[in-house]
């Protein structure tokens, strides 16, 4: 009997480490959102610290959005839609167009937030909030099947937007989101 462990399939390893990475990024987002409850960093404060929290938070939000383009996530989304809707050949195309439309919509918030400012932080909060709403819709808004991290992120972004946002359109976000989800 060999004392060496059998070789592990590289796909299994990749899936394990990608899953771990995704969880870590969600933790980072939660940590930043909690930190931002007290105060948003200013340009002057950012100059004195080694890591730019605005750029880093923006990269975490972009990473979570980019997941929608990954094959395993897309396949998961298609499986979820198949459970909920009558499925035919055109359904897959429609579903992919819907995902692409949502991706582009959220990406506009991220791309338009170029510098550290309260308004740009709010755009990033909106982006991650809308991504949570997207996942809520995928799970048919069933509280028993939605990730807890999405619920926490959503609640924290509501709190932060209420505290920092002066954009009138933020207050009508849910109407816009639900129209987009249809």
> In 3D, which of 72, 142, 65, 70 has the Cα closest to residue 106?
65
Displacement of CA 92 from its chain's centroid (Å): 22
How confident is the model at residue 64, as a pLDDT?
93
How confident is the model at residue 2, as a pLDDT?
55
Q: What is the pLDDT of residues 131-146, one digit of tens each?
A: 999 888 887 777 777 8
Instruction: Please state the domain count of the chain.
Output: 1
Question: 7: which residues sit within 8 A by CB, 6+ positions away?
Answer: none
Domain assignment present for residue 36? The answer is: no
Domain assignment present for residue 39? The answer is: no
This prediction's pTM: 0.81
How confident is the model at residue 105, as a pLDDT?
94
By residue range, what is the domain housing residue 93? 53-181
Domain assignment present for residue 61? The answer is: yes
Angle, helix 118-138 to helix 173-181, in steps of 10 degrees: 40
Residue ranges for the chain with pLDDT beneath 70: 1-6, 167-182
Domain assignment present for residue 105? The answer is: yes
Domain assignment present for residue 118? The answer is: yes
How confident is the model at residue 5, as a pLDDT?
60
Q: What is the pLDDT of residues 62-73, one digit of tens each?
A: 999 999 898 888
Domain assignment present for residue 23? The answer is: no
What count of other Cβ atoms lies within 10 Å of the Cβ of residue 124?
24
Domain assignment present for residue 44? The answer is: no
How confident is the model at residue 167, as a pLDDT?
56
Domain assignment present for residue 59? The answer is: yes
How confident is the model at residue 171, as a pLDDT?
47
Question: 134: which residues sit within 8 A by CB, 6+ positions away?
Answer: 68, 102, 106, 181
């Amino acid at each position: 009997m060999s004392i060496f462990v059998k070789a592990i399939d590289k796909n299994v390893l990749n899936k394990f480490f990608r899953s771990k990475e995704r969880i870590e990024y969600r933790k980072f987002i939660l940590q930043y959102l909690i930190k931002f409850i007290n105060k948003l960093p200013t340009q002057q404060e950012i100059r004195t610290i080694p890591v730019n929290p605005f750029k880093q938070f923006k990269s975490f939000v972009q990473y979570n959005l980019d997941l929608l383009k990954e094959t395993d996530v897309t396949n998961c989304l298609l499986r979820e839609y198949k459970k909920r809707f009558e499925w035919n050949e055109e359904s897959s195309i429609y579903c992919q167009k819907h995902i692409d439309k949502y991706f582009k919509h959220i990406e506009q918030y991220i791309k338009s937030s170029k510098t550290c400012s309260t308004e740009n932080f709010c755009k990033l909060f909106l982006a991650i909030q809308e991504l949570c709403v997207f996942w809520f819709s995928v799970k048919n808004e069933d509280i028993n099947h939605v990730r807890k991290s999405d619920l926490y992120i959503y609640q924290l972004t509501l709190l932060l937007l209420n505290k920092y946002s002066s954009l009138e359109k933020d207050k009508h976000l849910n109407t816009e989101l639900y129209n987009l989800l249809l």
